[in-house]
Each structure stands twice: as C-alpha cells, then as structure tokens.
Amino acid sequence: MDTITARKWLDRWDTQQERYIPDREERFRVVVDVVKAATDGVAKPKIVDIGCGPGSLGERLAGALPHAEIVGVDADPLLLDLAASAARADIRFVRAHLNEPGWDAAVALDGPWDAVVSSTALHWLAPDDLAKVFATAASRLRPGGVLVNADHMVLTEPLQQYAKVVREARTDRAGVVDNEDWRSWWDAVLADVGDDLAREHSAVAISHDSSSDLTVGQYADLLTGAGFSAAGPVWQFGDDHVMVAVR
C-alpha cells in the first residue's frame, strides 16, 4: 500500500477508535510514561507491541523513545500492511498469532526484552490463551521489565454499570459519539483495498464477536500466575484501564 493511502486509513482508524476510547491519547501517554520509567538508563530498550494493529501505539512509543528497538506483532495482514506503510520506518512489524506457540520467536530480538505493551487488543483472547501469552511475555522479559496493557477491563457489578455510565458520558462530552464505528471502518477499507490481503484478513480478525469480559482482578491474577511479581492498574477511566505487571 502506498504511504498516502495507508496514512489516510490509519488516521481514520485513530478517529474511529476514539469513539470507544475518548481519552485514547491520554491512555497512550500513560503507557509511554510507564515504559520510559521502566527503561530509564537502558541504552537501547527492546519493546514488543503485541496485537499492534496498524501501529498507533508503536508510533507514539517511537516518538518518545527514538533510541528504542520496537517490534509490533499482529496476526492481521491488512493492519500490518497499514502499519508498515504508514508508521515510522524505525519500527519493525512481524506477523504471528498470539494464541499459537512460537509468536515470541517471530519477534527475533536478541537478549531479554525490556517491555511488552498492548492497546485494545488482548480482550479478544480467551482466558487460557491470555494466560499463555502472559507466561511467554514473562519468560522473555528481564527482571524489572514490564508488561503494560491498556484495554477495557470490566468491574464487578454493580460498579460496572456506573463505569459504563461514566464512559458514555465522557464520550458525549468529548464529541466523539458520532465517530465512525469499528465495523464501518472495516467495511470501508475492505471495499477500498479489495484484494487477497483484505480477504485473508476478514477470516482472521473481523470475526471477533465477543470479549473475554475479565475483571481487573482476574487480569491481575492471570499476570501474577504467569510469573509477574506484581500487577495492577495505574490508570482508570470508567472501565478503561492501564494495567502494569512487573517481572
């Protein structure tokens, strides 16, 4: 895909994502703040963005940490094409399925990793698959390395109903309630691209029709059970959280 076309679709992706995460840019900044602190003093931090999609988070990390080596991992060929065509040239993107063994080998980074990050991607994984991803990440991270996951994580009822009210009210105040939705973005990009790569994508990711609906506490338990010494949220707005786990 040419750079101009890819940039158009990436910008449109960011806009539709804000319909669901009105404070998405602040959430990105929180992830960057944590990674910067965790890699302070590391000459060339190794950062892996899992479920990277079109590279929105990796692009922001590269801007804040130009000395880092960043690798984005995703199963979706169309989003990876967008990422490689539109994002910074100093980010490397690889295709691998997180729910299959060996995805970490595809990253092809020498030595231990310093940080694993993710944004609005891991909630699609079943809990057993998610636990395996966390265990793999823990095995690859150096002591003191971090996993930073920004995603929707539900609260126990009756708190979840209020978290939903808060998120919906914020979406209305931010003026993003009428932004293009996720499905419409996919329908449009598939109609525009319309090649074998796009059709391959439709069988990989668009079929998502459910979420693991894990609570914040369940996420933390999965992380500590996977080998992290501590895990918990460092930022929250409604049911949107940034969870940090320390190796």
pTM of this structure: 0.94
Q: Over the stretch 47-80, which tens digit does the pLDDT of each residue have?
A: 999 999 999 999 999 999 999 999 999 998 889 9
φ and ψ of 233, to 5 deg: -75, 140
φ and ψ of 56, to 5 deg: -60, -45
On the 0-12 / 13-18 / 19+ scale of CB atoms within 10 A, 75 is middle
- Residue 212, pLDDT score: 80
| Domains of the chain with CATH codes | 3-246 (3.40.50.150)
- Per-10-residue mean pLDDT for the chain, 247 residues long? 90 96 97 98 98 95 96 92 82 93 95 97 93 98 98 94 94 96 90 71 60 91 98 96 98
For CA atoms 81, 97, 18, 23, the dihedral sign is negative
φ and ψ of 5, to 5 deg: -65, -45
- Residue 201, pLDDT score: 65
Contacts of residue 221, defined as CB under 8 A and 6 or more positions apart, other chains included, come to none
- Residue 204, pLDDT score: 60
- Residue 86, pLDDT score: 82
Biggest CA–CA distance in the chain, Å, is 48
CB 213 within 8 A of CB 153: no
